[in-house]
Amino acid sequence: MTASLRILLSTWGWRSHFYGLAPLGWALQAAGHEVRVASHPSMASTISSAGLAAVPLGADLDFAEAFAGRIGTVGPLDPSATQPTGALEPAITADGGVVRFADALLDELVDFGRSFRPDLMVWEPFNLAAPVAAAALGVPGVLNLWGPDSSVTLRLDREAVIGPLAARFGLPASAVALDGALTLDPVPPPMQVPLARPGHPVRFVPYNGPAVLPAWLRRPAQRRPRVCVTAGTMMAGNGLADRLDLPRVVRSLAELDVEVVVVVDPRQHAGLDRLPDGVRLVDAPLALRLVLPTCAALVQQGGAGTMMTALSFGVPQVVLPQVSDQHFNGERLAVTGAGTALPPEQAGGAALRDLVGELIDDGPWRTSAALMRDRIHATPTPAEVVPTLAALARA
């Protein structure tokens, strides 16, 4: 038998960032390796509820306060393209929220690493503490992408941003490999973006947190196509719920002969208490991975995890981007033909209604969505990638 390895996963302070790491953690654990997941204390319950051992380290930061004034829009991949309204300078700065989260985690992450002595570290995008810790510990690292890597559009001055973090451990900024020795990329062509080095393919396995399967979902939609509406977790959690007029979106879809299922954060239920007939407002934990296989279309805000979950089930979708990387993800979705994005002013009304009417038909949108599903399912599962990671650790 091959000796088990110690694997340290690290995620920063937002639960959807961890969700993309969970299936890889399961695969490593099921292969007999010792897995720990290090993050800020507020993430402990999110991690442990996924069946992985949480290591609470450092200090908690208020996500909304840390990114106040910087939750704008991330522009398209093509710098010559028209920038979204209100777009901010695409940059990770030394005084920005990404660095503040790294600063709050880094010292204790290295201290824990010195006692745990991992053979490999794995992290997700925008986690700067983990690659610095890997360099300080002399441990090979892996960057696990959760979808199209929007960081390729951002400016990052390595000396100004990474330099002070690395200097704590007597290292130059050049010693820190933000993308590790290997990048795991779950994104199939043509949605992929250019990476610093070719990514290693890995199948996207949907995980959206704890869930309960309700009675109404134990059988397929009966008479009418089912359309799911969601707004993700980031906007409600940061006081941005009013950016998307959910009641207007739902009313527009209710004009179609469809069953509408609304899956949103409870903080977004306000204003959704007087909905048209044929609309179901979910009031219990319901992960998208459970409802989307029964759906003919998805209307969503543009989160990478939400987008990749729908693609993994071959569900056509429309993105209504408001902030952050939602515009970027909508652009990457559009190139696949499996869905598209609508500008904020069309997030409701006839434009949305008519587009969703097209998505639920057996036309080119559905054909492209099925093709993307098949491409995702053709890539190696996290379990099949484990030997590659073990070889990297042992090397």
Dump pLDDT digits (tens) for 149-198. Answer: 988 888 899 999 999 999 999 999 999 999 999 999 999 999 999 888 88
| Dist CA 348 CA 322 (whole Å) | 13
pLDDT of residue 78: 65
Count of CB atoms situated within 10 Å of the CB of 20: 24
CA angle 253, 258, 263 (to 5 degrees): 65
Q: pTM of the full predicted structure?
A: 0.93
Closest CA to 180 of 249, 233, 218, 123: 123
Give the pLDDT confidence of 83-101 residue by residue, as tens digits: 655 566 678 889 888 999 9
CA angle 188, 189, 191 (to 5 degrees): 90
Rounded average pLDDT over 332-342: 97
Architecture of domain 216-377: 3-Layer(aba) Sandwich (3.40)
Rounded average pLDDT over 208-220: 91
DSSP string, 210-277: -----GGGSS---SS-EEEEE-TTHHHHTT-GGGS-HHHHHHHHHTSSSEEEEE--GGG-TT-SSPPT
Give the pLDDT confidence of 362-393 residue by residue, as tens digits: 999 999 999 999 999 999 999 999 999 999 99
Give the pLDDT confidence of 262-295 residue by residue, as tens digits: 998 877 777 687 888 889 999 878 899 999 999 9
Q: Is 80 exceeded by the pLDDT of residue 120?
A: yes
Q: Is 80 exceeded by the pLDDT of residue 310?
A: yes
pLDDT of residue 104: 97
pLDDT of residue 76: 62
Q: Where in the chain is the domain with CATH 3.40.50.2000?
A: 6-204+379-394, 216-377
pLDDT of residue 285: 80
Q: Is 60 exceeded by the pLDDT of residue 234?
A: no
Closest CA to 295 of 319, 313, 278: 313
| Dist CA 356 CA 346 (whole Å) | 12
Kind plus residue range of the DSSP H or E element containing 18: helix 15-19
Topology adopted by domain 6-204+379-394: Rossmann fold (3.40.50)
Q: Is 90 exceeded by the pLDDT of residue 75?
A: no
